[in-house]
């Protein structure tokens, strides 16, 4: 519900019927909105608390103490009951009307609010993440190479200074920077979308009867087919034209099919801006001699399905290329692919999982024209570029990104867009193979679940308790912190010393170089536990290790901990 709608509702149900609009507006701005804010704030807290069993329905904890003091002074600050908290001195709304309004606001979004309060979004520290995104954006903005495409007259009209980036996570977290509201045509970025629609409707087997799935190694508009006289893949012009003939099955219903595809694309974009540029469509038809040549070549080779009309397929293809989006709506499309076909904004399943899997596979291997191999090598993520300057980037299970900058390189990719993708994976571990163990450490902005840490602590301490050196070696090789502590601040070395496991103690001290001076909640060191349980040999080993650590500290002028092992050579 918009603020204007709320304002109109307030006017309708105000108790003082004869008040002027100006008076009502002043009351709305200076009384209703602040109190509504705190009502929602407390209501969210109470709802979450009740869900967790922390409060009983008849009571409420004053949550205003958690709000900045300057803001809290504007409204009541001492309340003990939920209806008393939100009473209105000016009688603008009855308690029941306000309660119903606010419950509608909170109730419909309670799952989202719970995720936000618990920091359960895919990127929990989103503010820090977008700061890095902004830094990358500004760094890439300085790029001045490339040339705006001019073989389609409508594309040549865009300024080379335009540069925008939008992202949308699978949870619906969003960020935009630059010229992200400027509409532009999808051009070749529509190819993965139309392929996904074709697979969603007809299935993989039928689609790939007519089009291959191999990278061509050639330019996107070359007259070339594979050994079976099929287009190499759906991401080149020949493949996209053929896919158009599969979607548009009945020539006499051309407009119906186009509007159905438009509706499909709008669903992928969460019902945000999706338009159509008729000027670009006409321009495409007038300058599309190469595409007509490809069409006639495929017709001569009998590539089209039975009953398909080549001219209609080309016309439909030109229409699809002329679909307009913004960076913001395009990022939601990418996020829908990242989310397995479910739009993160509406929650609606738009594409089948089979269609999404196949689409991302082809984007990864064929999506960037004859730069696809380098993109897979340097960036390692599914992406699709278009001659309008757009790059649709998908980070599976994390987010979708739309970059747009008209200047292109020699193979037809956005110069700034390519540099942004490369900078993104140089800072964050989004590359498909950045998760390999002992790879170069990069930032991981994704959710770090507390449950995972608890499991790690349990597994580590249980292995030390049972004397399982093999398990400890596996943990060390997987880069686990071998100094992890439980709720009593006891480490694996404490447990091994108390149990008398000499081989475990030697592995932790000689190979993992753990800290021997960690005190548990009772102030005991691992050597104290060995002493207490009468493991004299372990006491000697631990004391010698303590002496070694202190000497190393003194020698290297380290004030806190002994140096950790940086390589894995000693663990294997």
Confidence band, pLDDT 50/70/90 cuts, at residue 79: very low
Chain mean pLDDT for the chain: 79
Return the minimum-mean-pLDDT range out of 68-72, 317-321, 394-398. Answer: 68-72
Whether 350 and 418 have beta carbons less than 8 Å apart is answered as: no
Whether 326 and 312 have beta carbons less than 8 Å apart is answered as: no
Q: What is the pLDDT of residue 81?
A: 35
Q: What is the pLDDT of residue 61?
A: 36
pLDDT higher than 50, residue 401: yes
Q: What is the pLDDT of residue 86?
A: 40
Q: What is the share, in percent, of the chain residues with pLDDT greater than 70?
A: 72
Domains of the chain with bracketed CATH: 3-117 (no CATH), 130-427 (3.40.710.10), 450-571 (1.25.40.20)
pLDDT higher than 60, residue 64: no
CA pair distance 439, 434, nearest whole angstrom: 6
pLDDT higher than 70, residue 256: no
Structure tokens at 337: 């692919």
Whether 447 and 122 have beta carbons less than 8 Å apart is answered as: yes
Place of tokens 């700061």: 131
Confidence band, pLDDT 50/70/90 cuts, at residue 498: very high
289-to-152, 286, 301, 363 alpha-carbon distances in Å: 11, 8, 18, 26
Least Cα distance to 142 among 343, 419, 349 occurs for 419
Residue 2 DSSP class = -
Confidence band, pLDDT 50/70/90 cuts, at residue 46: low
- Alpha carbons within 13 angstroms on the beta-carbon side of residue 205 total 0
345-to-51, 168, 269, 342, 384 alpha-carbon distances in Å: 24, 9, 8, 9, 22
* Order of strands across the sheet that contains 164-169: 174-178, 164-169, 399-404, 390-395, 383-385
Q: What is the share, in percent, of the chain residues with pLDDT greater than 90?
A: 49
List phi, psi (to 5°) of 11. -60, -40
Q: What is the pLDDT of residue 566?
A: 43
Other beta carbons less than 10 A from residue 255's beta carbon: 9
SS3 (DSSP) at 384: strand
Least Cα distance to 395 among 410, 407, 383, 377 occurs for 383
Q: What is the pLDDT of residue 24?
A: 57
Q: What is the pLDDT of residue 308?
A: 86
pLDDT higher than 80, residue 294: yes
pLDDT higher than 80, residue 569: no
The residue that leads in pLDDT, 256 or 163, is: 163
Q: What is the pLDDT of residue 288?
A: 86
Structure tokens at 198: 């074709």
List phi, psi (to 5°) of 513. 55, 50
DSSP alpha helix (H) spans, 428-491: 450-466, 469-477
The residue that leads in pLDDT, 325 or 91, is: 325
Q: What is the pLDDT of residue 272?
A: 94
R_g over Cα of the chain:
31
pLDDT higher than 50, residue 60: no
pLDDT higher than 50, residue 423: yes
Q: What is the pLDDT of residue 53?
A: 40
CA pair distance 279, 257, nearest whole angstrom: 20
Return the minimum-mean-pLDDT range out of 67-76, 118-127, 188-197. Answer: 67-76
Return the minimum-mean-pLDDT range out of 161-165, 213-217, 450-454. Answer: 450-454
The residue that leads in pLDDT, 21 or 467, is: 467
pLDDT higher than 70, residue 16: no
Predicted confidence (pLDDT) per residue in 323-382, tens digit: 999 999 999 999 999 999 999 988 889 999 999 999 999 999 998 988 898 999 999 999
Q: What is the pLDDT of residue 136?
A: 95
Q: What is the pLDDT of residue 26?
A: 56
Least Cα distance to 165 among 404, 408, 414, 336 occurs for 404
pLDDT higher than 70, residue 47: no
Give 247's strand partners: none
Confidence band, pLDDT 50/70/90 cuts, at residue 298: very high
Whether 231 and 307 have beta carbons less than 8 Å apart is answered as: no
Least Cα distance to 527 among 546, 504, 511 occurs for 546
pLDDT higher than 80, residue 45: no
Give 325's strand partners: 184, 274
Burial of 18 (0-12, 13-18, 19+ CB in 10 A): exposed
Q: What is the pLDDT of residue 563?
A: 45
Instruction: Please count the residues of the chain.
Output: 572
Q: What is the pLDDT of residue 194?
A: 93
Residue 490 DSSP class = -
Return the minimum-mean-pLDDT range out of 70-84, 470-484, 497-511. Answer: 70-84
Whether 378 and 419 have beta carbons less than 8 Å apart is answered as: no
Whether 193 and 200 have beta carbons less than 8 Å apart is answered as: no
């Amino acid at each position: 519900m918009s603020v204007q709608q709320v304002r109109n509702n307030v006017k309708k149900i105000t108790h003082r019927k004869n008040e002027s609009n100006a008076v009502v507006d002043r009351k709305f701005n200076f009384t209703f909105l602040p109190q509504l804010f705190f009502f929602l704030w407390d209501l969210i807290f109470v709802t979450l608390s009740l869900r967790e069993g922390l409060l009983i329905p008849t009571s409420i904890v004053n949550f205003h103490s958690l709000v900045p003091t300057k803001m809290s002074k504007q409204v009541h600050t001492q309340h003990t009951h939920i209806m008393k908290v939100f009473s209105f001195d000016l009688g603008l709304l009855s308690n029941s009307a306000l309660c119903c309004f606010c419950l509608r606001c909170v109730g419909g979004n309670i799952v989202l609010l719970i995720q936000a309060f618990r920091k359960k979004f895919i990127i929990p520290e989103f503010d820090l993440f977008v700061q890095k995104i902004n830094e990358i954006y500004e760094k890439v903005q300085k790029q001045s190479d490339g040339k705006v495409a001019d073989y389609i007259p409508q594309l040549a009209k865009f300024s080379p200074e335009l540069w925008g980036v939008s992202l949308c996570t699978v949870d619906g977290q969003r960020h935009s920077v630059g010229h992200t509201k400027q509409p532009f045509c999808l051009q070749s970025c529509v190819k993965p979308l139309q392929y996904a629609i074709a697979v969603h409707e007809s299935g993989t087997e039928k689609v790939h009867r007519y089009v291959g799935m191999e990278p061509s190694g050639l330019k996107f508009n070359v007259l070339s087919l594979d050994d079976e006289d099929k287009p190499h893949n759906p991401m080149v012009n020949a493949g996209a034209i053929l896919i158009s003939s599969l979607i548009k099955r009945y020539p006499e219903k051309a407009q119906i099919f186009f509007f159905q595809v438009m509706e499909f694309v709008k669903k992928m974009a969460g019902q945000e801006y999706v338009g159509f540029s008729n000027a670009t469509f006409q321009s495409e038809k007038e300058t599309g001699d190469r595409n007509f040549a490809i069409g006639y070549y495929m017709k001569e080779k009998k590539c089209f399905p039975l009953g398909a009309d080549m001219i209609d397929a080309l016309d439909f293809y030109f229409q699809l290329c002329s679909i307009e989006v913004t960076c913001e709506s395009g990022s939601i499309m990418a996020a829908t692919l990242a989310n397995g076909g479910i739009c993160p904004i509406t929650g609606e399943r738009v594409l089948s999982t089979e269609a999404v899997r196949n689409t991302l596979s082809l984007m990864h291997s064929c999506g960037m024209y004859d730069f696809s191999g380098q993109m897979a090598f340097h960036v390692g993520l599914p992406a699709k570029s278009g001659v309008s300057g757009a790059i649709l980037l998908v980070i599976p299970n994390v987010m979708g990104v739309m970059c747009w900058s008209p200047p292109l390189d020699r193979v037809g990719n956005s110069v700034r867009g390519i540099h942004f993708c490369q900078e993104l994976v140089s800072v964050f571990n989004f590359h498909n193979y950045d998760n390999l163990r002992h790879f170069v450490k990069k930032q991981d902005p994704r959710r770090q679940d507390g449950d995972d840490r608890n499991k790690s602590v349990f597994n580590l301490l249980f292995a030390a308790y049972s004397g399982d050196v093999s398990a400890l070696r596996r943990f060390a090789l997987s880069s686990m912190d071998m100094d992890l502590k439980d709720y009593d601040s006891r480490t694996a070395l404490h447990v091994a010393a108390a149990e008398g496991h000499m081989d475990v103690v030697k592995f932790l001290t000689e190979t993992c170089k753990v800290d021997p001076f960690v005190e548990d909640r009772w102030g005991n060191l691992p050597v104290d536990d060995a002493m207490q349980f009468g493991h004299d040999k372990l006491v000697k080993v631990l004391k010698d290790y303590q002496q070694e650590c202190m000497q190393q500290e003194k020698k290297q002028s380290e004030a806190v901990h002994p140096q950790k092992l940086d390589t894995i050579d000693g663990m294997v």
